[in-house]
């Protein structure tokens, strides 16, 4: 039996490294053609070559999610090469560990524009294309920080990620009637470069002690959950946020 996703194309933002890179790898392993995007084109190109040296099923693009025009350009490039785009993963994000009362308006705006604004632009630009085609799967990367106020992350990061949960519901309602689902995944602390950069090694035992399961999350498992939400059979799941946090936050 043929795999219906073999002809589908998935674009992942912030895919040159970390969690985004693992999400892209799991989509590729599941049969998707994958577009790796990053603010740094050389970084995206290096990651794409490492994932598929032939370049037949992977392409790389420069995409600064803080710029709506970059999403429009990326969509045009994907359509030129592969003719369609069925899956979008809004993963790119930044954080700063600046103490709450020291966050400047400029820093707050930068983080919110990239994390929340980038998700909005991706949903708007790519979501419109998907709606016009009558099919699409959008997965937004939220965070435990947006549900419990954060621990090691900055207030601007936590606020932006909480807003992504709401934005996911807004776009889900808007696009549901046109065959497009919009969901979010809210990971807790994952074994990733971002977490290791934010949590000094001496604080890691304390972090692990606070997680009920006693371990950091697995990035490949997050990627597998993205794959599930991206499947055609996932049509009945939209507007939801999937919690993967080791028991740190339970509904």
> Which residues are known catalytic residues?
157
Alpha helices in 145-242 (DSSP H): 145-148, 155-175, 193-198, 204-210, 219-230
- CA 206 → CA 158, 200, 216, distances in Å? 20, 11, 12
Indicate the helix (H) or strand (E) that contains 150: none
Contacts of 100 (CB under 8 A, 6+ apart): 154, 155
Classify residue 137 as left (phi > 0), alpha (psi -120 to 50) or beta: beta
**DSSP code of 103?**
-
Give the strands of the sheet with 9-12, arranged side by side.
Answer: 58-62, 33-38, 9-12, 87-90, 136-141, 180-187, 241-244
Name the residue among 167, 199, 201, 162 with its Cα closest to residue 182.
167
| Cβ-contact 234, 136 below 8 angstroms | no
């Amino acid at each position: 039996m043929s795999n219906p996703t073999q002809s589908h194309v998935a674009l992942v933002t912030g895919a040159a490294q970390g969690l985004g890179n693992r999400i892209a790898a799991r989509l590729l392993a599941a049969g998707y053609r994958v577009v790796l995007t990053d603010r740094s084109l050389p970084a995206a190109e290096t990651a794409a070559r490492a994932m598929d040296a032939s370049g037949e099923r992977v392409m790389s693009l420069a995409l600064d999610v803080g710029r709506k025009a970059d999403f429009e350009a990326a969509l045009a490039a994907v359509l030129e090469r592969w003719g369609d785009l069925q899956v979008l993963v809004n993963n790119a994000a930044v954080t700063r560990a600046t103490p709450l009362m020291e966050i400047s308006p400029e820093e707050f705006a930068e983080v919110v524009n990239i994390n929340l604004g980038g998700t909005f632009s991706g949903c708007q630009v790519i979501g419109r294309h998907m709606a016009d085609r009558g099919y699409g799967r959008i997965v937004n990367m939220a965070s435990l920080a947006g549900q419990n106020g954060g621990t090691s992350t900055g207030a601007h990061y936590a606020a932006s990620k909480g807003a992504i949960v709401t934005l996911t519901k807004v776009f889900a309602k808007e696009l549901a009637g046109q065959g497009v689902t919009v969901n979010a995944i809210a990971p807790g602390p994952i074994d990733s470069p971002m977490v290791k950069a934010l949590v000094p090694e001496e604080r890691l035992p304390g972090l692990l002690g606070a997680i009920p399961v006693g371990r950091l999350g697995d990035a490949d498992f997050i990627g597998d959950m993205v794959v599930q939400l991206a499947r055609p059979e996932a049509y009945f799941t939209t507007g939801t946020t999937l919690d993967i946090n080791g028991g740190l936050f339970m509904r």
